[in-house]
Amino acid sequence: MTSHDDPPSATDRGHTNARILVVDDDPTFLRYAGRLLEAEGYDFVLCDSALRARQHLRDREFDLLVTDIQLPDGDGIELLRFVSRECGLLPVIVVTGYPTVSTAIDALRLDAMDYLIKPSVDLDVRVAQVLSRMADARRRHGGALDPAGDPAGDPAGHSFSSKLRQLADQLEAELGLPSRKAADVVSNPNGSGLAAAAPAPHQERNDRWRLLTRRETEIAERLVAGMSPPQIAEILGISTSTVRNHLQAAFRKVGARTQIELVARLTQR
């Protein structure tokens, strides 16, 4: 990790010298991110909680925030809201090992510039792309970013609707969903994301449900309704790790790799 006693402003630095804050409670991911960012010559700070992240953001100027969704003392969406209130146009990349369409939409609505799914995160490539887009935006705006002056209302030139379209494309590629179905899921106006794909109680379930145990079914029903593992754990009175263990068993039984894929397989007719 590098540091500067009297660093230049963010607008003066080239993106190879950018200052990046990475927030994740997984020490393995933090080590992975640190190695990649150090190899590229970035100035970076690693931390494992939302509280420490807010402290760093108040104390220093950063060019990019990379944050997990699930943190021990909050979540990345709340951290994005803090950034929106306190940090102006700081670009954000969201990473998660437990993706849901609803959190992806929340992140994009709060102007996250990317939504990456672990473990296959090409972080160094995505960081370079985001910083390059922000540098281009600064050049277009004469060194200052003003979202009101951008025709799309987005300093990087990526409107919310276009980011939804990109998310639909990601779902299509990762889950094999038809592009129209993926677009319908991510653009559901009630913002519930996965809840839009949930079968109503009177609808016949597909055969994959029969592969699940009673507990796995209880958890899967709530996942399909758009709940996160911590929410499911609280409702069922079990630990979050137990929920995730049952989800891993369900993944194996239905041939899924992620929560989004599990929901897609359980809701296919």
Domain-embedded: residue 179: no
Query: Does residue 112 sit within a domain?
Result: yes
Q: Are residues 153 and 202 in the same domain?
A: no
Residue 186 lies in a domain: no
The 10s digit of each residue's pLDDT in 34-91 is 999 999 999 999 999 999 999 999 999 999 999 998 898 888 889 999 998 988 789 9
Average pLDDT rounded to a whole number, residues 7-27: 69
CATH code, domain with 138: 3.40.50.2300
| Domain closes at, from 158, 188, 221 | 158
Q: Are residues 95 and 144 in the same domain?
A: yes
39 with 143, same domain: the answer is yes
Whether 21 and 148 map to the same domain: the answer is yes
> Has residue 175 been placed in a domain?
no
Q: Which domain holds residue 250?
A: 198-269
pLDDT of residue 229: 85
Q: Are residues 138 and 217 located together in one domain of the fold?
A: no
What is the rounded average pLDDT of the residues 200-221? 81
User: Is 92 within a domain?
Assistant: yes
Q: What is the pTM of this model?
A: 0.57
Determine, yes or no, domain membership for 165.
no
Which range has highest mean pLDDT (46-60, 146-160, 217-231)? 46-60
Q: With cut-offs at 50, 70 and 90, classify the pLDDT of residue 245.
A: very high
Is pLDDT above 70 for 182? no
Query: Which of the pair, 144 or 71, is modelled with greater confidence?
Result: 71
Same structural domain for residues 34 and 120?
A: yes
Average pLDDT over residues 123-127: 89
In this structure, is residue 177 part of a structural domain?
A: no
The reply to whether 174 falls in a domain is: no
Quote the number of domains for the chain: 2
pLDDT at 120: 62
Per-range mean pLDDT, top range of 82-96, 117-131, 138-152, 197-211: 82-96
End-of-domain residue from the set 96, 131, 158: 158
What is the DSSP annotation of the chain? ----SSPPPTTTS-GGG-EEEEE-S-HHHHHHHHHHHHHTT-EEEEESSHHHHHHHHHHS--SEEEEESEETTEEHHHHHHHHHHHSTT--EEEEESS--HHHHHHHHHTT-SEEEESSS--HHHHHHHHHHHHHHHHHHTTT---GGGSTTS-TTS--HHHHHHHHHHHHHHHH---HHHHHHHHT-TTS-GGGGGPPPTTSPPPGGGGGS-HHHHHHHHHHHTT--HHHHHHHHTS-HHHHHHHHHHHHHHHT-SSHHHHHHHHH--
Q: Are 128 and 204 part of one and the same domain?
A: no
Query: In the predicted model, what is the mean pLDDT of residues 147-153?
Result: 39
Do 32 and 106 sit in the same domain of this protein? yes
